């Protein structure tokens, strides 16, 4: 018969049954061992007794099993009938509470109006269905509009659509609204960096997509060679290359993993100290990549919301392109103007930081 079952094995069989681990091996022993079989049956009875059951409660009254189940079904049917009857009475009470017309022909003394009263039969039926509270986050109120712009299309309709869209859209709208409220003037002025990135555009964006494998920049006058180093922040070197003056691009063997990186480009010229440019960026993770693809696909139809999503994931160049499209769709809209100022200010700040270190 083998060794008898342990307490844990008996308890597992009683609770999980066929879902227990090594069920068939354990049951072969239970079948051949009366002591273990009796223990398992007792444990199963104890486990079942601990589970709440209306039928088992009714069994305390010593009803036969068919009567127990019939009584249980009857109680459930009575509860359902009472619920339906109560709802019907509530509807009748609401209808009865409506004012009834005075059939005596005498005018009501408390009503004075210059328009004839609408007969009760011609009125639209009252909406008696219960209304649930709207728990969705509400957008900030729209800025006041002047009489000259009342006829222009408003961005409010597009912003309300954020309630039915993915959560990152609502988060993006809140972020850009908060940025517009707490925006501060900066002393940065737009300037052309001495070294410009062509691909990816790290001057105007703080993040790159997950499929980026090429780094390309514009040639620097008098440059004899370039030293490129790509390292992971708080990590090791990912790529390093010595390039000639004609080589202004570098292709990775595979896309970068999700994380934060720093690219360092040293420009070496004859009889001049080396000029070094450093730029930190990060690679979009799976959720941010999903938001990026959503904004790309809705840039034409929902330019304002797409601009907010691009701003959320530090794709400022894409955000500016969408906000310009929104400005054409919603001319003289104050909210669009505020968002455009915020996006332009962040691009200017990024460009000003794109300098020698």
pTM for the predicted model, two decimal places: 0.56
Spatial separation of the C-alpha atoms in residues 222 and 240, rounded to whole Å: 22
Average of per-residue pLDDT across 324-342: 92
The whole-number average pLDDT for the span 181-209 is 75
Buried b (16+ CB within 10 A) or exposed e, 292-303: bebbbebbeebb
| CA dist., res. 163 & res. 329, Å (int) | 21
pLDDT band, very low/low/confident/very high, at 339 (cuts 50, 70, 90): very high
- Per-residue pLDDT of 107-121, as tens digits, reads 443 444 444 444 444
Mean pLDDT to the nearest integer, 305-329? 94
Beta bridge partners of 243: 226
Contact in structure between 218 and 196 (CB atoms under 8 Å): yes
Our measurement of the distance from residue 16's CA atom to the centroid of its chain's CA atoms, rounded to an integer in Å, reads 37
Share of the chain above pLDDT 70, in %: 68
The whole-chain average pLDDT of the chain stands at 76
Comparison of pLDDT for 26 and 202, the residue scoring more: 202
Of the CA atoms within 13 Å of residue 244, those in its CB half-sphere come to 1
Region class of 271: left (phi > 0), else alpha (psi between -120 and 50), else beta: left
104 pLDDT higher than 50: no
Mean pLDDT for 229-246 is: 91
137, HSE (Cβ side, Cα atoms, 13 Å):
14
pLDDT, tens digit (0-9, with 9 covering 90-100), for 245-259: 899 999 999 999 999
pLDDT reading at 335 higher than 80: yes
């Amino acid at each position: 018969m083998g060794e008898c079952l342990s307490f844990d094995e008996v308890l597992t069989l009683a609770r999980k049954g066929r879902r227990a681990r090594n069920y068939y091996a354990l049951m072969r022993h239970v079948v051949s061992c009366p002591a273990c079989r009796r223990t398992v049956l007792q444990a199963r009875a104890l486990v079942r007794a601990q589970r709440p059951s209306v039928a088992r409660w009714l069994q305390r009254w010593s009803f036969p099993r068919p009567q127990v189940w019939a009584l249980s079904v009857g109680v459930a049917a009575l509860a359902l009938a009472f619920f339906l009857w109560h709802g019907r009475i509530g509807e009748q009470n609401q209808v009865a509470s409506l004012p009834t017309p005075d059939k005596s022909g005498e005018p009501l003394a408390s009503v004075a109006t210059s328009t004839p009263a609408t007969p009760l039969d011609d009125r639209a039926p009252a909406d008696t269905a219960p209304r649930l509270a709207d728990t969705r986050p509400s957008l900030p109120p729209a800025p006041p509009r002047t009489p000259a712009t009342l006829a222009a299309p408003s961005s409010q309709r597009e912003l309300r659509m954020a309630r039915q869209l993915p959560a990152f859209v609502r988060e993006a709208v809140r972020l850009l609204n908060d940025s517009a409220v707490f925006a501060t003037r900066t002393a940065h002025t737009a300037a052309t960096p001495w070294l410009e990135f062509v691909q990816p555009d790290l001057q105007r964006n703080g993040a790159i997509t997950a499929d980026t494998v090429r780094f390309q920049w514009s040639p620097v006058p008098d440059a004899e060679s370039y030293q490129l180093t790509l390292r992971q922040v708080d990590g090791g070197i990912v790529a390093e290359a010595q390039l000639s003056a004609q080589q202004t691009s570098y292709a990775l063997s595979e896309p970068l993993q999700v994380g934060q990186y720093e690219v360092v480009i040293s420009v070496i010229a004859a009889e001049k100290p080396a000029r070094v440019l450093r730029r930190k960026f990060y690679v979009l993770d799976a959720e941010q990549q999903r938001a990026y693809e959503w904004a790309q696909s809705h840039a034409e139809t929902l330019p304002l919301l797409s601009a907010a999503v691009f701003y959320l994931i530090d794709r400022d160049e894409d955000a500016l392109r969408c906000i310009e499209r929104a400005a054409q769709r919603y001319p003289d809209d104050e909210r669009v103007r505020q968002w455009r100022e915020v996006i332009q200010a962040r691009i200017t700040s990024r460009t000003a930081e794109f300098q020698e270190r």
